[in-house]
Structure 1
């Protein structure tokens, strides 16, 4: 027997190993291949998006430089120098200062020429004034004189072996003659470094080629070969008729993909070994008990003289015979499931309500458990436990179950005394569902439910809100009926009326409610509390809750949350709510809207008393801190003024200036300007934004005012400050 079991053990283990190998190895190769394809597609998509972004950034920079060149050309000092018909040292000095100022604020411009065709002079930003005959860049001079440049188009140009992108202003398609030109020579290394800043980390090279295939940033002829093992993507520059190419090596990706595939295979082999080891251990652990059981059964049957009845040849025959004997013994036993009857029925009834309709299986199972299933019509009643949050906090889970069980028993007893069929269903929430099969009018049903409510209040000290549906067919969707009737129980909170609610009540309620509108009196209410006007606070509360009573329950709850949140936010150190988390619990603790109103009235009056008791404190210091916080938050707004601060703290602008001067020893306007200057200093050192963008983000309304105020405060221009601190 031991040898037979060992042979079967080995045979089973070998077959399991073959199956695992056939499944795991090919599947791991398939997964790694699919992952490589997915990674390739994602990398291709990433580089495509990256080149589109780079092209957009390049287009933006070039258009910005064109605009900047036009602004330089239109400057009065530069125009004066370009249009003069004889030399003027004063005009030369003004042009030099203006040209230097413009170039100091734009790092991409390396050099600029002012070319006057009347005086035949060139103003070079690096070497000063030169006559046409002695000017070193004769190629550019010839290009300008012959008007070869396209309209506002950059073109590659070399000066003493250094490649530049150049722009001639003005350059017109009609070739209209002008007395002077402005030529900008860009720093290609600076421009290329800016474009490559985010691409070098990814191993990506950027090329900008013109229509002739020439790299406009280096001046070299370039070829883009898609078969050279590269990710190649391109995007067009519409304003220049150029293309931006990104070149990323594919070899590195292929090596990583192959390495990943090898790791996947190795991990799969390791997993296979672990599974085979686990299978070996588990097979011994599983088969040994069967072997022991077979030996015990063999001894039992042989000892009982049953060997002739059951020929025992192997383990399978022994176990089969033992199972057959056990089955015959189980069939002879009378196992009663009466103790589980109630639990099974309750679960089926819960599924009926939650799913909406009974399937054939549920109907067949409970057809003998309850007579309710044979009624043609039934009513669905929801009994909602009021102040359920307090109910949960007051009783532990076992006590809550006992109280709900008692509540269900009371309801069932009252209905059955009237000859009706009823099933009570606990949905493990704040409500109990009653399915009632009783042929009574609506008024008679209300009387019965009122009696149930009275008994519940009398015997188990609970208050419940009850709502009832119209008679429904057993094949109707009970889930939708339950949701509707459950909403009816919420009418008590809004109306405050303690009665049995029906579908007619909801229809009348819908006709009564008004369209949702924002509670516009909240701010006035808070202002009255701050002012300590108790009588008007009570009157304003009456108006607010009159509005709330005319809303749907869901809208009413939202508006109540807004109201209570406003109180918490405004009086966080005085309100008993102590934070937003307590609002939902608070709302769940009041059975009616009027109960909540009375509590809120007491709370607000208590807040007024506390505010009155604090009159001796230093109110001015708190107001000053509130002003500082408001200014810090709105400093980016160029329209920020003392009137805005005064409106925020509900005081006059004059009084606000007086308080700020007393508490901070500094005028309010001076503080705002100082805060903006500090913001500019921070952004100049910690960010790469342009000076203009920094001025706008710091709240300066105009560029001229920004430059004037910054230089007055620091003695430096923004660019000088940035260069000095970097």
Structure 2
């Protein structure tokens, strides 16, 4: 045992030692490489500067040579001088001899020739020809047409022979010999000479030098064949670059590809990071292994010491025998075992509820064994053939909680037991759990094919009747659809939850199944929004017709299905419209609305859970405030007159001449008085009111007739169809055609749902 423990420790720490040592050696090696690389970069910087200086001086010498020849060489000057035209043949021969002499004396120059513009003659060291027959005539034409200063130009020199030879790459410099007739002198320097200069400055076995133009095109390199431009070997990474102000070229240099060393150097920071991480990992491993090897003893003693000191500090003394401490601790553990078993029973209830909740949420796939154990405890030992979920909800739960207080837990327990007892004569196994404060889920499990949905409905109906007859509250039960096995029981739960959500429309104290939900159409919000707007406008105007519109909306809601959230949102839209329209009334009428009416409507919406209750509460509140506002309106002297004006508008809205002036003449009043009285009574401007009346009539005609837009506009007082379309769009947010199309689409969709 001792040897085993020794080897265990040795094998734990020896690999860490090797890893850390190797990482430190790697970091040292990489640091040396990086220092060498920085030194090489500085050396290459000096190299590129020296090479560029040499090339600039060499090409600058050629430039100076050309300038000197054109200014001081008499033979070349005579070649361009028109005064020697009488003895031109002799002059040309002398100039050719001078060119040949200079070509022999300057090894850098590949070729040189003169161009005389007046007679289009080209003179080389060996020939005199016209430009038409000269092989390099395209370059001469390019230079003559150039508007920029002449610089050194990289190009391929064309062959002078009839049979093409290998192309020679050169850099050419052009000088103007005579500004008046565009005669020039051209010198071509072979790039091989530049390559020789570059190679003379460096060790080509270790480093390379590239010469490129500003566009990045390679002119010459110590790594390429000067004639073909084919790379001789793979270049390494560029370490330094220098730009020439004279030629505008760029010299770059670097070490030749170094294989694995270059790869290691290029990934310096990566390797350093890996080495550092290896060291850190090694340190972490040492700490981990040390703690792990010591952990069993430390854990045991710490736990024993902590428990003993917390429970009985007097028994924890310095120098106490460890084995004695362990012995007494084991005795205490045996005493606590029975108490833990009791606590386990309590915890199992919570675990059972958690598993039930997971089953309802569809998260049971990884716990099949646990489900089988739980179902076995419930009396289901064989395979499950089918399952179904029913969701029981206590009606008017706020009143229930306020009435029973702490006793509600006892009533919920009774309700859970009754749900199990009513299935005694059926082949179901029942599992009940309260999902929240007001809803209890019942899982009906069938171990054979005898249990049907009709049996579940019968059990639920028995449970509902028992609660209604024996308790002071009622329940509503939503029943899901039967599923095979337990894998899809969450779908049945979701269906039950969706069904019970429609008790706002279907009513309380009843059974709600999927068939009942599917047999009624879902709510059509478009028509309800129209009714809401009409109710709000009529209510603001003091028109008793608001009750008719409100009752029509209630009747439509009764014929359709709405969840509580949908109905709540719809009623909140109504409250919002009323709040906005009431704000436009005069201050005295607006004050009546602000006497808690808005808060009363919101409170009623929160406390009432069915359509009937919400409608009754809203109708009572709105009717009360409407009566008070009308009493205030009738107390004003001009109330009766303004109502006559309003009736007149309702009968003559189609008259395009209807205006304040027209009303003033019809009722013998000043137009300002009509406008002021109208706003004081109804809280809206005259033009806004007549526009609303016309738009309501137009919307009705668009929905109920197939008349054209132009005829409908004329029917509501707009002679110009464009004016009608503009006003309608401003009022509704869409054109008449769009409104009619959307309304028909919504109506068709509603018909399909109903069908």
User: If the length of structure 2 is used for normalisation, what is the TM-score?
Assistant: 0.38
Question: Which is higher, the Rg of structure 1 or of structure 2?
Answer: 2
